[in-house]
Amino acid sequence: MKNYRIIYALTVLLLCQVSFAQDKKMSQHVVLISVDGFRPEFYLEEKWPVPNLKHMVKEGVSATGVRGIFPSVTYPSHTTLITGSYPMDHGIYYNSPFEEKGQTGRWYWEYDLIKTKTLWTAVKEAGKTSASFMWPVTVGADIDYNIPENWYLDSSYGKIKPMRDFESPEGFLKEMEEEVLGKLNDKTFNGDYLNREDRIGEMAAYTLETYKPNFMSIHLFAVDHFQHEQGREGEKVYTSIAAVDRAIGKIKEAAIRAGLEDQTTFIITGDHGFVDIHSALSPNIWLVEEGLIEDKKDRGNWKAAFHTSGASAFLMVKNKGDNKTVEKVRKKLDELPSNIKKLFRVVDRAELDEIGADPNAVLALAPIPGIAMSSKTNGDILSARTGGTHGYYPDFKQIETGFVAFGAGISKSKTIEKMGLEDIAPIINELLDLNFESKEGVLYPGILTKTN
């Protein structure tokens, strides 16, 4: 009997040790923060005012660069972050879908447009809870606490009404206004200033401390706004990345106040880098010259059109299999003068397949850094442009985004030379022990302190 008791005691002790090791390995809360227009220089170079980020780099894992998707714009990139798939599979090809009768200003807002499984669904299936703030393509998402990014085409409704109309649960925004934010309006939550980053940080901090969701996705976008306006080194870029860092600090402090510090993982990443631009190219003018599109808002009686997305342009044909029109476009591109042809390269369908871009595009035009594509159908082929942009083919350093991971389950003081945007979802899956498979992403086990 005595031996049985000893064996039983040892078994219980062993099971407890295994359980403790698993608990220690697993993160209970993952906070995914996307900084729109996030560049690795922000945490790699001393001049940028980001003390929270630099502390996380020192104590966690960071990448010298993260390769994005094509086009390197916000909505498809954020959907790759949350699915681990390329646009070809997840179905969010651009910020705005191509509309045959002309662009109305609609974006990919609705969650049911995503064709592949998301981390939010995996969280729900695991019996865990989620929260999300201003994340693209989340209107109607199965997220417990959700303030999606969307707006009405009629600008008279303002910025706050769409947030209230599509919030989850009902009254969530009002609760946060009463508890932490103060009354939101177009002055206190305004992208032309930095108070929006403060408010988003306070929303996330309040929710983490109050409801303790297992997974949070947060989109901060002031850095993108001011890089578009002023370029990579604009004065407001410095103040906006400082505001982002302050918002991150607020969320981190909330984890401490809630007693969740040792159970929480922070992943700070982005969607794309940024490139200073000086000129814009308008390829639809070539199509007007060839009689393939009309100089009208609804494109008139069109056969082919370039859909611009950020810096790049994607060729759409009205009738699939219209090889005659495609050949006419190719001939036009081939016969352009050399001083224009050197400003871009043609990305054929095979290369678009390889990088997982929109399956409906026949080809794409990828400009050199400094040149952006314009949707204009009249005027000069080449015109002046200022500020910065993105949307380029992701094969050069400036268009790369960043990655910093810190906290529960994350290795210390480690650098990853290069990874892809699709490689972030597998990290979250492992940390939260979800049943989620990333089609394109790979888990780099060295990022984590321990893996199965």
Average pLDDT over the chain reads 94
CATH code 3.40.50 for 279-385: no
Spatial separation of the C-alpha atoms in residues 187 and 192, rounded to whole Å = 9
How far is C-alpha 153 from the chain's CA centre?
22
* Cα gap 282→367, rounded to integer Å: 11
Q: How far apart are CA 145 and CA 152, in angstroms?
A: 21
Strands 61-67 and 401-407: antiparallel
Which residues have a Cβ under 8 Å from the Cβ of 301 and sit 6 or more positions away?
294
Residue 421's contacts (CB-CB under 8 Å, 6 or more residues apart) are 66, 67, 68, 69, 77, 80, 81, 269, 271, 401
Contact 147, 173 (CB under 8 A): yes
- Render 5-50 in DSSP notation, one character per residue: HHHHHHHHHHHHHHHHHHHHHS-SEEEEEEETT--THHHHSTTS--
- Picking from 24-33, 280-289, 299-308, 359-368, which range would have the lowest pLDDT averaged per residue? 24-33
pLDDT grade, residue 451 (50/70/90)? low
The span from the CA of 155 to the CA of 153, in Å, is: 6
CA triplet 269, 272, 275: central angle to 5 degrees? 135
Report the percentage of the chain scoring pLDDT > 90: 94
In the chain, where the domains are located: 27-273+395-447, 279-385
pLDDT in tens, 131-183: 999 999 999 999 999 999 999 999 999 999 999 999 999 999 999 999 999 99
Q: Which amino acid is at 263?
A: Q
Q: Is residue 234 predicted with pLDDT exceeding 70?
A: yes
pTM (predicted TM-score): 0.94
**Which phi and psi (to 5°) does residue 189 adopt?**
-135, 85
Domains 27-273+395-447 and 279-385 share a fold: no
Positive or negative, the CA dihedral 224, 230, 233, 238 is: negative
pLDDT of residue 26: 74
From the number of C-beta atoms within 10 Å of its C-beta (0-12, 13-18, 19+), residue 188 rates as middle
Residues 6+ apart with CB under 8 A from 444: 416, 419, 423, 427
Residues whose CB is less than 8 angstroms from the CB of residue 439 and which lie 6 or more positions away in sequence, other chains included: 83, 84, 85, 86, 89, 116
Rounded distance between C-alpha atoms, residue 29 and residue 202, angstroms: 17
| pLDDT tens per residue across span 364-393 | 999 999 999 999 999 999 999 999 999 999
Q: Contact at 8 Å (CB) between 293 and 99? A: no
pLDDT digits 0-9 by tens, 8-64: 444 444 444 434 444 444 799 999 999 999 999 999 999 999 999 999 999 999 999
Please give the Cα distance from 163 to 79 (Å, whole number). Answer: 20
Classify domain 27-273+395-447 by CATH number: 3.40.720.10
Report d(CA 409, CA 255) in Å as an integer.
15
Count of C-beta atoms within a 10 Å radius of residue 316: 18
DSSP 3-state of 349: helix
Q: Given a cut of 70, is residue 127 above it in pLDDT?
A: yes
The residue count for the chain = 452
